[in-house]
């Protein structure tokens, strides 16, 4: 433990309470960190690719999640080790940036760490290794740019986009109806996309799920759904050309915030008060009616009498709508949220082409659909599925697919999947290594080896002979100078990924390599770990 | 150097073979638990809750049993979930789906032990499930065109479903009840319109279907007990002391005479309200809230039948059935829609008085009154009837019907076996395993009935080798019989759901190669 002496030979303490802390330094620290990072990567390795396996995760409350989404697995894993937490962060940032490839990035980082360990054993300084990795990653990213293809699609021809989303979905449990889900995702993204500015606001796509029905019943709604029903069972279930008043004040007698008392001491007063109360309810409903609203959506509850009056005046109403949904409705219908009855004006009403109530299955569940809104850019993907686990997993898969579609709209360059891009990069990096003088050369070669580990894991998970398959594909790529050969995971019979229509976005792949390299560099630079020892 | 711990202290991680073993063991344990309830001679289970009162349930409904279990094994949770879904979707076959999934996993375990990769097993299972479904599709009977025959089909399905339940003694009677009730729905699947009232006493045979609507309430004192051509106002309004709702109002008086005045005014207000209600020209008034004695007396004076405190569902259903609207204000009598029915009368069931609305406008609704010796019997009877109703209402929409008694499993097994022989590669082992899992179902049915399953299933297999055979297990006589003659049928939709969701669940569990259990949340020690 760190113990320093002053000029008179007296020991003094540098760290506070240093007896209670454990400390690892130098090569020890690096090795411990690397082994932790590798352990995380090893967990995810088997989930990679279309034939990847799932994990069961049991939360502290006993709920079960079954998934093979890398980000989700890591998030729910209850990790304690600092370096492992870095890996979790890594997968999360890939999720935020790109939305897909969260497993791949961790596997890549794990492979880089594994290679680094060997170099360290040979006595190469970690900083040199980090620098070599940095150079190699630059070569790889450039090479990716070089082999990427521009990818053509229009709003009318969505087939290529659908194909890409299908590649993403095929590794998930929902691959039974991946075609259907891929189409939904692409349509959803296209309807909120701004094709001229190449921008997509994913916030405008709401993903909702309800247990029941089959996965095939999942649908895309051009509008908003609210998990509520009309306040009175006999109000009309369908309203066309609705003008919507969005209120945040209750249909109830006023409750002034100052403390007050109304004293009743004569019969007359009692009667006037009664009349006033009736008039008050009448006024509220009348105000809504006067501005021309045909549907009232309210954040609060209604009094029984007000409810009946609304029903009576033929003014359908929805109560207890949550704040977030209220805002979404306001955005979608172009209306304004009105906090007081006095402030209702016709301009503040939202507009929707069709509002309808829909009931599900044999149970009594009902939902409200608000469709054909003034601002048609808000859409909802409504997922149905056998059970809660399935719906949650579908939500995650749809999110991945949406992100992929968005990335393609932002930047329509693609590279081919199935490990072909990694193999091609590996060849390029290997070739470039010889040009660098100095120790970095070894690090660059190690990087090339690490790149091979992704296709290797793919082959392993698909039940193929990993080394045999990889070397065959590699020699084929070099021989025919064609970067489209990858691992034939689905046993289709060809390993030309162009024929199989398996591709990924260029930025996704580049981001994977860059992020993995960065994190590995960060881990390599740590040479001292001070942590409170177990107590 | 030793790898440091990655996970938190109490968290555990199981990998590869061990993880798979844990899920197999869990799933198979669940299957063995519900296995004995399968089939017409299946046994029941007693479930005792840990909650207060230690309520006891006696049932052989798979979904109900599984719902009440507290399980820690994740794979077992998946199975419980599919049984729940089966219950929500088609209502019946909740045991079969768990048993089939369990058998599939049992077979998969052997294959995994023989070093076949789970993914290969999954793709084999998928092919087999698809093939089995197609084989079944070719043999379905669809009597949509012929109403008479279709009704007979429904009757057979209802009897088959009920025969494994407590109602099997009177299955003809109950099948008739269920079919009649479902036929009234005219194709809608809204089972809300069928009301089930349970009254202990009498025997199960005394249960009956009523075409009207029965409200489990009493008629107010001194009011007519029988009204013909009733005009009904359904309301949700306070009929006790109509409070002033403006916040902060209170009565402050300085003399007794004032109190009397105010009381008078209050009474006057109530009287006015009652007057307004009566002015609608009604002779029956149903309110969701309480009706105090004073207004009740006023109603009695006017010869109006007043029913108080009908629950919320009752009100909505009544409004739906009689075609009236639920009112809360009474100022515009001309625009309020009133409900109508031909006759309201008080009837006695056992010792209880109920109010019976007959000749209602909407013909869809009906009420089934269940009678039985004890609450447990009634609860189980309700569950059984609910199963039958669900299956029937689904069958009305999807009119395809298959035979029962293990026939569909044998048909599928034969087709799947055929497929296994034609498929090259390791998948054929998985396909063969699928067929073995299918045959396990008739085997279990025979075992539960105390028959020699090995002998019967072998006979059955031989019979099925002939084209167009209708053979299945006749549990009553203990031999192989012609299912078409015996009239044992099942809904195709149920069978299909069983096949598909069992395969899906088995797939989900097979795909897992790692289980990570987080540290259980620390609970405050309250002891």
- ipTM confidence: 0.73
Q: Using one digit for the tens of pLDDT, what is the confidence trace for A95-134? A: 888 877 888 899 999 999 999 999 998 988 889 999 999 9
The length of chain A, given as a count of residues: 535
Section B286-308 average pLDDT: 78
Flag whether pLDDT at B104 surpasses 60. Answer: yes
Min distance A127 CA to chain B CA atoms (Å): 22
Q: Which residue of A has its CA nearest to B236?
A: A304
B365 within 8 A of B354, measured Cβ to Cβ:
no
For residue A4, the Cα-to-chain-centroid distance in whole angstroms is 50
Q: Using one digit for the tens of pLDDT, what is the confidence trace for A499-532? A: 887 778 888 899 999 999 999 999 988 888 877 7
Query: B265: which chain A residues are within 8 Å (Cβ-Cβ)?
Result: 267, 270-271
**Res A138: pLDDT:** 92
Go through A153-175 and write b for each residue having 16 or more CB atoms within 10 A of its CB, e for each that does not.
beeeebebbbbbbbbbbbbbbbe
Which one of B5, B252, B515 has the shortest CB-CB distance to A265? B252
B503 within 8 A of B104, measured Cβ to Cβ:
yes
Q: Using one digit for the tens of pLDDT, what is the confidence trace for B341-376? A: 788 888 877 777 788 877 776 666 678 888 888 888
Min distance B350 CA to chain A CA atoms (Å): 31
Q: What phi-psi label fits residue A307: left (phi over 0), alpha (psi between -120 and 50 degrees) or beta?
A: alpha
Q: Pick the catalytic residue: A46, A65, A67, A69?
A: A69
- In angstroms, the CA A497 to CA A57 distance is 33
Q: And the tokens for A421? A: 């891009």
Flag whether pLDDT at B67 surpasses 50. Answer: yes
Flag whether pLDDT at A255 surpasses 50. Answer: yes
* Nearest in space to B273 (alpha carbons), one of B287, B259, B262, B260: B287
Identify any residues that bridge with B58 across adjacent strands, giving them in sequence order.
B46
**Placement of tokens 């509220």 in the chain:** A284
* Nearest in space to A352 (alpha carbons), one of A368, A374, A376: A374
Min distance A352 CA to chain B CA atoms (Å): 27
Q: With an 8 Å Cβ cutoff, are B1 and A28 in contact? A: yes
Flag whether pLDDT at B74 surpasses 90. Answer: no
DSSP codes joined into one string, A332-367: HHT--EESSGGG--GGG-EEEEEEEEEEETTTTEEE
B189 part of the active site: no
Flag whether pLDDT at B527 surpasses 50. Answer: no
B388 within 8 A of B209, measured Cβ to Cβ:
no
Residue B516 CA: distances (Å) to CA of A65, A81, B510, B513: 10, 16, 16, 10
Section B410-420 average pLDDT: 91
Query: B192: which chain A residues are within 8 Å (Cβ-Cβ)?
Result: 364
Q: With an 8 Å Cβ cutoff, are A55 and B82 in contact? A: no
Query: B19: which chain A residues are within 8 Å (Cβ-Cβ)?
Result: 56
Which one of A32, A264, A280 has the shortest CB-CB distance to B251? A264
Section B61-66 average pLDDT: 83
**Res B280: pLDDT:** 79
Q: With an 8 Å Cβ cutoff, are A305 and B189 in contact? A: no
* Nearest in space to B367 (alpha carbons), one of B501, B248, B216: B216
State the count of interchain CB pairs (< 8 A) between A and B.
215
A70 within 8 A of A399, measured Cβ to Cβ:
no
Q: With an 8 Å Cβ cutoff, are B329 and A312 in contact? A: yes
Section B283-300 average pLDDT: 78
**Res A85: pLDDT:** 86
B215 within 8 A of B429, measured Cβ to Cβ:
no
Residue B325 CA: distances (Å) to CA of A363, A508, B236: 23, 58, 10
Q: Using one digit for the tens of pLDDT, what is the confidence trace for B122-139? A: 888 988 998 998 998 888
B94 within 8 A of B63, measured Cβ to Cβ:
yes
Min distance B123 CA to chain A CA atoms (Å): 11
How are the residues of chain B apportioned to helix, strand and coil, as percentages rounded to the nearest 5? 50, 20, 30
Q: With an 8 Å Cβ cutoff, are A79 and B7 in contact? A: yes
The length of chain B, given as a count of residues: 527
Query: A24: which chain B residues are within 8 Å (Cβ-Cβ)?
Result: none
Q: With an 8 Å Cβ cutoff, are A312 and B261 in contact? A: no
Min distance B461 CA to chain A CA atoms (Å): 32
B495 within 8 A of B482, measured Cβ to Cβ:
no
Residue B300 neighbours by CB distance under 10 Å: 16
Q: With an 8 Å Cβ cutoff, are A31 and B1 in contact? A: yes
- State the best of A216, A285, A386 to mutate against chain B, taking most chain B CBs within 10 Å: A386
Q: Using one digit for the tens of pLDDT, what is the confidence trace for B242-255? A: 666 666 667 777 77
Tell me how far apart the terminal alpha carbons of chain B are, to the nearest angstrom: 43
- State the best of B518, B520, B521, B523 to mutate against chain A, taking most chain A CBs within 10 Å: B518
Section B158-174 average pLDDT: 80
Which one of B7, B84, B516 has the shortest CB-CB distance to A55? B516
Crossing angle of helices B427-448 and B407-422, in 10° steps, is: 160
Helix (H, G, I), strand (E, B) or coil at B190: coil
Q: And the tokens for B461? A: 């297999």
Helix (H, G, I), strand (E, B) or coil at B168: helix
Q: Pick the catalytic residue: A400, A452, A488, A496?
A: A400
pLDDT, mean over chain A = 82
B44 part of the active site: no
Q: And the tokens for B224? A: 């007519």
* Nearest in space to A205 (alpha carbons), one of A223, A227, A217: A223
Q: Which residue of A has its CA nearest to B522?
A: A60
Question: For residue A60, which phi and psi values (nearest 5 degrees)?
Answer: -55, -25
Which one of A264, A305, A309 has the shortest CB-CB distance to B250? A264
B64 part of the active site: no
Q: Pick the catalytic residue: B31, B37, B59, B94?
A: B94
Q: With an 8 Å Cβ cutoff, are A56 and B265 in contact? A: no
- In angstroms, the CA B276 to CA B269 distance is 11
Q: And the tokens for A407? A: 């990335």
**Placement of tokens 């076949």 in the chain:** B116
Go through B159-182 and write b for each residue having 16 or more CB atoms within 10 A of its CB, e for each that does not.
bbbbbbbbbeebbebbbebbbebb
Q: What phi-psi label fits residue B219: left (phi over 0), alpha (psi between -120 and 50 degrees) or beta?
A: beta
Among A21-25, A87-91, B292-296, B472-476, name the most confident range. Answer: A87-91
Residue A354 neighbours by CB distance under 10 Å: 16
Query: A61: which chain B residues are within 8 Å (Cβ-Cβ)?
Result: 521
Calculate the CA dihedral of residues A361, B78, B388, B497 and round it to 10 degrees: 70
Stated as kind and residue range, the H or E segment containing B398 is none
Min distance B515 CA to chain A CA atoms (Å): 5
Helix (H, G, I), strand (E, B) or coil at B303: coil
Q: And the tokens for A243? A: 């003008």
B95 part of the active site: yes
**Res A405: pLDDT:** 85
Q: With an 8 Å Cβ cutoff, are A56 and B514 in contact? A: yes
Which one of B7, B253, B512 has the shortest CB-CB distance to A56? B512
Min distance B86 CA to chain A CA atoms (Å): 9
Q: And the tokens for A450? A: 């690490």
**Placement of tokens 């070397």 in the chain:** A471
**Res B165: pLDDT:** 76
Write A326-329 long-range contacts (CB < 8 A, 24+).
A326/A246, A326/A248, A326/A297, A326/A299, A328/A206, A328/A224, A328/A378, A329/A224, A329/A226, A329/A244, A329/A246, A329/A297, A329/A370
Among A5-19, A161-175, A325-339, B93-107, name the most confident range. Answer: B93-107
Q: With an 8 Å Cβ cutoff, are A264 and B262 in contact? A: yes
Whole-model pTM: value is: 0.80
For residue B402, the Cα-to-chain-centroid distance in whole angstroms is 21
Residue A332 CA: distances (Å) to CA of A184, A206, A229, B495: 20, 12, 19, 43
**Placement of tokens 């064609």 in the chain:** A482
Q: Using one digit for the tens of pLDDT, what is the confidence trace for B197-216? A: 888 887 888 888 877 777 77
Q: With an 8 Å Cβ cutoff, are A80 and B316 in contact? A: no
- State the best of B510, B511, B521, B522 to mutate against chain A, taking most chain A CBs within 10 Å: B511
* Nearest in space to A368 (alpha carbons), one of A478, A210, A202: A210
Which one of B88, B329, B511 has the shortest CB-CB distance to A361? B88
- In angstroms, the CA B425 to CA B423 distance is 7
Query: A266: which chain B residues are within 8 Å (Cβ-Cβ)?
Result: 258, 261
Flag whether pLDDT at B42 surpasses 90. Answer: no
Residue A498 neighbours by CB distance under 10 Å: 16
Q: Which of A39-43, A287-291, B258-262 has the lowest mean pLDDT?
A: B258-262
Which one of A265, A270, A463 has the shortest CB-CB distance to B119? A463
**Placement of tokens 């594909």 in the chain:** A473
Go through A331-346 and write b for each residue having 16 or more CB atoms within 10 A of its CB, e for each that does not.
bbbebbbbeebeebee
Q: With an 8 Å Cβ cutoff, are B8 and A79 in contact? A: yes
Q: With an 8 Å Cβ cutoff, are B74 and A64 in contact? A: yes
Query: DSSP E strands: which ranges in A128-204?
Result: 149-150, 193-194, 199-200
**Placement of tokens 């997993």 in the chain:** A393
- In angstroms, the CA B215 to CA B245 distance is 31
Which one of B85, B237, B517 has the shortest CB-CB distance to A386? B85
**Res B2: pLDDT:** 42
Q: With an 8 Å Cβ cutoff, are B515 and A311 in contact? A: no
Identify any residues that bridge with A65 across adjacent strands, giving them in sequence order.
A57
Q: With an 8 Å Cβ cutoff, are A264 and B249 in contact? A: yes
Q: Is the dihedral of CA B173, B174, B175, B178 positive or negative?
A: positive
Q: And the tokens for B53? A: 């009162």
Which one of A61, A273, A308 has the shortest CB-CB distance to B329? A308
Go through B485-495 and write b for each residue having 16 or more CB atoms within 10 A of its CB, e for each that does not.
ebebbbbbbbb
Residue A308 CA: distances (Å) to CA of A240, A449, A530: 22, 74, 69
Query: A84: which chain B residues are within 8 Å (Cβ-Cβ)?
Result: 6
**Res A444: pLDDT:** 93
* Nearest in space to B130 (alpha carbons), one of B451, B503, B520: B503
* SS3 annotation, A26-51: HHHHHHHHHHHHHHHHHHHHCCCCCC
* Nearest in space to B336 (alpha carbons), one of B270, B269, B282: B282
- In angstroms, the CA A364 to CA B190 distance is 8
**Res A112: pLDDT:** 93
């Amino acid at each position: 433990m760190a113990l320093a002496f002053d000029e008179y030979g007296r020991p003094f303490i540098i760290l506070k309470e240093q007896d209670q802390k454990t400390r690892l330094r130098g090569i020890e620290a690096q090795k411990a960190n690397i082994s932790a990072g590798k352990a995380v990567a090893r967990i995810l390795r088997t989930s990679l690719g279309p034939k990847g396996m799932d994990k069961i995760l049991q939360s502290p409350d006993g709920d079960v999640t079954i998934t093979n989404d890398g980000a989700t697995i890591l998030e729910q894993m209850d990790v304690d080790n600092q370096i492992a937490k870095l890996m979790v962060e890594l997968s999360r940032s890939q999720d935020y940036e790109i939305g897909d490839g969260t497993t791949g990035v961790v596997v890549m980082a794990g492979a880089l760490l594994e290679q680094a360990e060997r170099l360290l054993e040979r006595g190469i300084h970690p900083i040199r290794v980090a620098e070599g990795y940095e150079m190699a990653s630059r070569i790889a990213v450039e090479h990716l740019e070089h082999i990427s293809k521009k990818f053509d699609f229009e709003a009318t021809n969505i087939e290529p986009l659908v194909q890409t989303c299908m590649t993403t979905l095929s590794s998930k449990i929902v691959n039974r109806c991946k075609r259907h889900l891929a189409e939904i995702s692409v349509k959803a993204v296209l309807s909120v996309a701004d094709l001229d500015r190449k921008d997509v606001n994913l916030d405008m796509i709401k993903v909702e799920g309800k247990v029941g029905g089959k996965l095939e019943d999942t649908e895309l709604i051009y509008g908003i759904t609210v998990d509520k029903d009309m306040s009175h069972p006999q109000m009309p279930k369908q309203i066309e050309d609705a003008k919507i008043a969005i209120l945040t004040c209750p249909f109830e007698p006023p409750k002034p915030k100052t403390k007050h008392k109304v004293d009743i001491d004569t019969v007359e007063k009692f009667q006037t008060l009664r009349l006033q109360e009736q008039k008050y309810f009448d006024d509220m409903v009348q105000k809504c009616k006067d501005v021309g609203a045909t549907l009232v959506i309210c954040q609060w509850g209604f009094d029984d009498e007000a409810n009946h009056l609304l029903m009576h005046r033929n003014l359908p109403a929805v109560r207890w709508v949550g704040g977030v949904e209220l805002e979404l409705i306001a955005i979608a219908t172009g209306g304004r949220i009105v906090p007081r009855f006095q402030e209702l004006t016709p301009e503040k009403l939202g507009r929707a082409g069709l509002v309808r109530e829909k009931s599900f299955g044999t149970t009594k569940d009902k939902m409200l659909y608000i469709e054909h809104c003034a601002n048609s850019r808000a859409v909802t993907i409504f997922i149905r599925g056998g059970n809660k686990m399935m719906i949650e997993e579908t939500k995650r898969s749809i999110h991945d697919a949406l992100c992929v579609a968005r990335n393609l709209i932002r930047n329509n360059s693609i590279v081919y999947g199935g490990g072909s891009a990694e193999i091609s990069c590996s060849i390029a990096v290997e070739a470039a290594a010889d040009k660098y003088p100095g120790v970095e050369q070894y690090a660059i070669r190690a990087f090339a080896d690490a790149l091979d580990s992704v296709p290797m894991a793919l082959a392993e998970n698909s039940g193929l002979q990993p080394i045999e398959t990889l070397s065959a594909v590699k020699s084929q790529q070099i021989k025919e100078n064609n970067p489209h050969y990858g691992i034939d995971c689905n046993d289709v019979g060809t390993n030309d990924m162009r024929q199989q229509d398996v591709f990924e976005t260029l930025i996704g792949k580049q981001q994977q390599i860059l992020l993995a390299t960065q994190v590995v560099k960060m881990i390599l630079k740590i040479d001292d770990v001070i942590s409170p020892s177990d107590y | 150097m030793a790898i440091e711990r990655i996970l938190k202290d109490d968290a555990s991680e199981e990998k590869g073979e061990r993880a798979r073993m844990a899920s197999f063991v869990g799933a198979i344990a669940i299957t063995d638990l519900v296995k004995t309830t399968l089939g017409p001679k299946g046994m029941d289970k007693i479930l005792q809750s840990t909650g207060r009162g230690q309520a006891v349930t006696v049932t052989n409904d798979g979904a109900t049993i599984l719902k009440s279990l507290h399980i820690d094994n994740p794979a077992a949770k998946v199975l419980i979930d599919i049984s729940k879904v089966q219950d929500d979707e088609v209502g019946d076959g909740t045991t079969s789906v768990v048993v089939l999934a369990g058998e599939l996993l049992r077979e998969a375990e052997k294959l995994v032990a023989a070093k076949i990769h789970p993914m290969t097993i999954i793709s084999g299972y998928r092919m087999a499930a698809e093939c089995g479904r197609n084989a079944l599709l070719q043999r379905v009977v669809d009597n949509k065109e012929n109403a008479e025959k279709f009704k007979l089909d429904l009757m057979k399905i209802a009897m088959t479903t009920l025969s494994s339940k407590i109602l099997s003694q009177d299955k003809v009677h109950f099948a008739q009840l269920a079919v009649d009730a479902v036929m009234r729905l005219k194709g809608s699947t809204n089972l809300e319109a069928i009301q089930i009232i349970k009254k202990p006493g009498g025997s199960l045979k005394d249960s009956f279907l009523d075409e009207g609507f029965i409200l489990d309430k009493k008629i107010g004192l001194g009011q007519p007990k029988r009204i013909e051509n009733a005009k009904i106002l359904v309301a949700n309004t306070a009929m006790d002391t109509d409070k002033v709702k403006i916040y902060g109002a209170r009565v402050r008086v300085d003399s007794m005479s004032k109190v009397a005045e105010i009381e008078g005014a209050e009474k006057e207000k109530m009287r006015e309200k009652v007057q307004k209600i009566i002015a609608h020209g009604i002779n029956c008034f149903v309110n969701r809230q309480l009706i105090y004695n004073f207004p009740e007396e006023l109603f009695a004076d006017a010869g109006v039948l007043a029913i108080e405190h009908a629950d919320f569902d009752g009100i909505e259903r009544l409004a739906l059935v009689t075609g009236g609207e639920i009112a809360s204000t009474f100022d515009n009598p001309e625009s309020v829609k009133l409900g109508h029915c031909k006759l309201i009368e008080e009837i006695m069931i056992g010792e209880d008085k109920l109010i019976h609305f007959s000749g209602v406008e909407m013909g869809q609704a009906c009420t089934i009154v269940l009678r039985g010796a004890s609450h447990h019997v009634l609860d189980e009877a309700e569950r059984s009837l609910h199963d039958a109703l669900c299956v029937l209402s689904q069958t009305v929409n999807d009119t395809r019907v298959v035979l029962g008694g293990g026939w569909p499993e044998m048909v599928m097994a034969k087709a799947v076996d055929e497929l296994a022989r034609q498929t090259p590669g390791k998948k054929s082992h998985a396909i063969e395993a699928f067929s073995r899992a299918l045959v396990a179902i008739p085997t279990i049915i025979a075992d539960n009935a105390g028959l020699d399953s090995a002998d019967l299933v072998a006979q059955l297999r031989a019979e099925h080798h002939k084209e167009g055979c209708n053979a299945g297990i006749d549990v009553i006589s203990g031999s192989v019989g012609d299912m078409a003659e015996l009239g044992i049928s099942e809904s195709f939709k149920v069978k299909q759901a069983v096949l598909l969701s069992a395969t899906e669940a088995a797939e989900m569990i097979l795909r897992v190669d790692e289980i990570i259990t987080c540290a259980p949340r620390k609970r405050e020690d309250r002891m």
